[in-house]
Structure 1
Amino acid sequence: MPRPADDVRAFAAHAPDADLDDLRARLAAARLPEAETVRPSAPGPGRWGQGVPLDFLVDVVHYWRTEYDWRAFEARLDRMGQFRTTIDGLGIHFLHRRSPRADATPLVLTHGWPGSIAEFIDVVDDLADPEDADAPAFHVVVPSLPGFGYSDKPVTTGWGTEKIAAAWVELMVRLGYSRFAAHGGDWGGNVTTVLGGRFPEHVLGIHTTFAQGPPASSTDGLTAVERRWAEETHDFWHHRAAYAKQQATRPQTIGYSLVDSPVGLLAWILDKFAEWSDTEDSPFETMSRDRVLDDVTLYWLTRSGASAARIYYESHNSLDPELRVDVPSAITMYPGDIEKCPRPWAQERYRQIVRWRAPETGGHFPSLEVPQYFVKDLREGLAAVLAANR
């Protein structure tokens, strides 16, 4: 395997003790509003009708302040292998887990918002070194999007999904991977779509939980399930997407709160983990509380609430309507996700769908909600992609 370029440098995460002390002090001194006026007698979706319920938030804040262990997450990142490199003037942080298998395929995993590299921390080892010798193995690369985590914060406009995809190609080539597969969801799915559409000479194929057909696709011929998907997606963007409008138009304004108040940041992110997961009430029905707090704490310690929000300013509604993906594509639509694209619409953009799945459980964060199924589905999807290249 080719050696990485010299400008790829090892990186170690270590927050100063003073920053962790400051976080706990801010949590202890938090000023909270009164309880929501929509207060059902029992837990359920209605309890979240005005946002994160006060009693729920108080419990999470208490756990974050008194029990959560950030150092354990730092140690996991360091064991996995962290690096940084500079691409087009911007420092990019990434995890890199090489597989011991000689037949492993390079794979880049791209997270979205309000996610981070924490989304994939529990699945990287299984992808790189599966117990089943017959399962495909991968050299796994997990970059932090520009403005997220330990990647640098852009100081000028221009770092939208097209530029990010080009940067990922440069990153993979620097690591010695001139041909690779790609996976993503949310913004990571958008980046993955651009990778497949713009860089077929480098991308073997893609697996994504995000699919978006060209605008104004017709509902004629859709099944009842597909029509419901279309209606639910329309309802989401018209009635439950104020966060996206805010971040697409005024990321700096909300950014002050996200960088200055850990409780404000926690509530802003928890709201999405709750609403976008396949659960009845708490996101912790399917996701680890520690893993969600790993994600939130990473945003807090890197002061990236504002810079991460700017991906909406850079890229909201920017996917080229003419972009077509001709490389082999595997697509999975999880039932609890906020956007589910009917297959006939997806086929207008993704021209070689080699595998399509709509599982019975899982939401917007499948690597956290249903990690075992996620790994199995990703392996099988990429196996179909790789078979189509033979």
Structure 2
Amino acid sequence: MEWLDQARVPRISRVRITRPRFGSRPYTPEIPCGPVGQAAWIYEKFGIWTDSDRNPESVLTMDEMLDDITLYWLTNTAESAARFYWENSDVTMNAVRIDVPMGVTLFPKEFYTPPRAWAEKAFSNLVYWNKAGRGGHFAAFEQPKVFAEEVRRFGELFR
């Protein structure tokens, strides 16, 4: 299953599926209560889920990461962001057919990179498919120029 990086996903998905409050307030036994514990949790995700060889400072500045971490803390939204995994824990890999024009860009360090054949089954009107040279789960954040260029290329198909 090269389309799913087993080393990067299963543990976090299992944690979030079984404990959706993991990594958020209020206190959970998994991490310390407070902004430092949440910062450590999110910083670790930047290291694992970016295209950075576990050195997130190579693709994001410390200020960018702290801005993101602070936004989650001040708005108390880490829990709702993690809840997605719990709410979708029973979703199968059976695709729901989508007939509008679709574009897909695969980023090499994203943990879910499906084969094109799967995308073609789900998207009857797949008009754009590309594999980016770099980027991970936070592609728009860590590689904004690459992400913007991909969006632009897809959009140009409709000019």
Match in the other structure for 2:2: 231
* 1:284 equivalent in structure 2: 57
The answer to whether 1:242 aligns with 2:15 is no
Aligned to 1:368: 141
The share of aligned pairs that are identical, in percent, is 34
Q: CA deviation at 1:232?
A: 5.6
Greater RCO structure (CA 8 Å; 6+ sep):
2
**Cα distance in 1, alignment partners of residues 68 and 78 from structure 2:** 11
2:33 aligned with 1:260 = yes
- Flag the 1:370–1:235 CA change in 2: closer, same or farther, 3 A: same
- 1:223 is matched with none
Matched, 1:352 2:125: yes
**What does 1:180-191 correspond to in 2, within 5 Å?**
none
Q: Does structure 1 retain, via aligned residues, the 8 Å contact 2:99–2:124?
A: yes
CA contact (8 A) 2:95 2:121 kept: no
* Structure 1 residue 250 displacement after superposition: 1.7
**364 and 322 in structure 1: CA distance in 2 versus 1, 3 angstrom threshold:** closer
Structure 2 length as normaliser, TM-score? 0.84
Whether 1:297 aligns to 2:106 is no
Q: 1:269 aligns with which of 24, 37, 42?
A: 42
Please tell me whether the aligned partners of residues 247 and 312 of structure 1 are also in contact (alpha carbons under 8 angstroms): yes
Q: Kindly tell me: are residues 254 and 290 of structure 1, through their superposed partners in 2, closer, same or farther at Cα, counting changes over 3 Å?
A: closer
The 4+ residue runs of structure 1 with deviation greater than 4 A are none
Output aligned runs, 1:1-390, within 5 Å.
Answer: 230-231=1-2, 233=4, 235-236=6-7, 240-252=9-21, 255=24, 256-257=27-28, 260-318=33-91, 321-384=94-157, 386-387=158-159
Post-superposition CA distance 1:183-219 (Å, at most 9, x none): xxxxxxxxxxxxxxxxxxxxxxxxxxxxxxxxxxxxx
What number of residue pairs does the alignment pair up?
Answer: 155
**Residue deviations 1:121-154, cap 9 Å, x none?**
xxxxxxxxxxxxxxxxxxxxxxxxxxxxxxxxxx
Sort the Cα spacing of 1:249 and 1:340 in 2 relative to 1 into closer, same or farther, 3 A. same
The secondary structure found in structure 2 opposite 1:251 is coil
Q: Answer whether contact 1:259 1:303 (CA < 8 A) is retained.
A: no
Q: Using the TM superposition, give the Cα deviation of residue 270 of structure 1 relative to its aligned residue in structure 2, in angstroms.
A: 1.4
Q: Which amino acid aligns with 1:277?
A: T
TM-score (norm 1): 0.37
Q: CA deviation at 1:366?
A: 1.6
What amino acid maps onto 1:265 in structure 2? Q
Deviations 1:278-303 (CA, angstroms, capped at 9, x unpaired) = 11231110112211111110111122
What is the Cα deviation at residue 334 of structure 1?
A: 0.9
Task: Sort the Cα spacing of 1:232 and 1:346 in 2 relative to 1 into closer, same or farther, 3 A.
Answer: closer
Structure 2 unaligned blocks of 5 or more: none
Residue 149 of structure 2: SS of its match in structure 1? helix
8 Å contact kept, 2:5–2:111: no
Could you tell me how far apart the structure 1 residues matched to 2:5 and 2:61 are?
A: 30
Q: Flag the structure with higher strand content.
A: 1
2:148 alignment partner AA: V
CA contact (8 A) 2:111 2:137 kept: yes
Computing the radius of gyration from Cα coordinates, the structure with the larger value is 1
Give 1:322 deviation, angstroms. Answer: 4.8
Distance (whole Å) between structure 2 residues aligned to residue 259 and residue 382 of structure 1: 44
| SS across alignment from 2:129 | strand
What secondary structure sits across from 1:355 in the alignment? Answer: strand
